[in-house]
Structure 1
Amino acid sequence: MTSIPRAPLFLGLAGLIPFLWGAATVVSDDLAEFALNSLGARFVGPYVQLAYGSIILSFMSGVLWAFATKASGAQAAVGYALSVVPALWAFFMVGGGPTSAAMNLIFGFAGLLMLDFAFSAWGLTPRWWMALRILLTAVVIACLGLTVMI
Structure 2
Amino acid sequence: MNTIPRPALILGLAGLIPFLWGAATVMRPELVVWGTQNIGARFVGPYVQLFYGAVILSFMSGVLWGFATKATGRMATAGYVLSVVPALWAFFMTGGGPVEAAMNLIAGFLALLLLDWHFWRLELAPPWWMHLRILLTAIVVLSLLPVVI
Query: Into which bin does the TM-score normalised by the smaller protein fall?
Result: over 0.9
In structure 1, give the amino acid aligned to 2:11: L
In structure 2, C-alpha distance between the alignment counterparts of 1:147 and 1:22, rounded to whole Å: 9
Question: Which residue number in structure 1 is paired with residue 39 of structure 2?
Answer: 39
Q: What amino acid is aligned across from residue 85 of structure 2 in structure 1?
A: V
**Counterpart amino acid of 1:104?**
N
Q: RMSD across aligned C-alpha pairs, in angstroms?
A: 0.8
- Is the partner of 1:11 in helix, strand or coil? helix
Pairing 1:105–2:105 present: yes
2:78 is matched with: 78
Range moving further from structure 2, 30-39 or 87-96:
30-39
Q: Percent identity?
A: 66
List alignment gaps of at least 5 residues for structure 2.
Answer: none
The corresponding residue for 1:137 is 137
Amino acid paired to 1:95: G
Which aligned segments of 4 or more residues in structure 1 are displaced greater than 3 angstroms?
none
Structure 1, unaligned runs of 5 or more:
none
1:83 CA displacement: 0.1
Q: How many residue pairs align between the two structures?
A: 149
Matched, 1:120 2:120: yes
2:148 counterpart of 1:148: yes
Q: How far off is 1:105 after superposition? A: 0.3
Aligned letter for 1:111? A
Deviation, 1:36, is: 1.1
What secondary structure does 1:101 align onto?
helix
- 1:113 partner letter: L
In the alignment, which residue of structure 2 is the partner of 1:64? Answer: 64
SS in 2 for 1:4: coil
Instruction: Give, in whole Å, the separation in 1 of the partners of 2:62 and 2:106.
Output: 19
Q: How far, CA to CA, are the matches of 1:4 and 1:98 in structure 2?
A: 33
Amino acid of the residue matched to residue 25 of structure 2? T
> For residues 46 and 148 of structure 1, what CA distance do their matches in structure 2 show?
10
State the TM-score, normalized to the length of structure 2.
Answer: 0.98
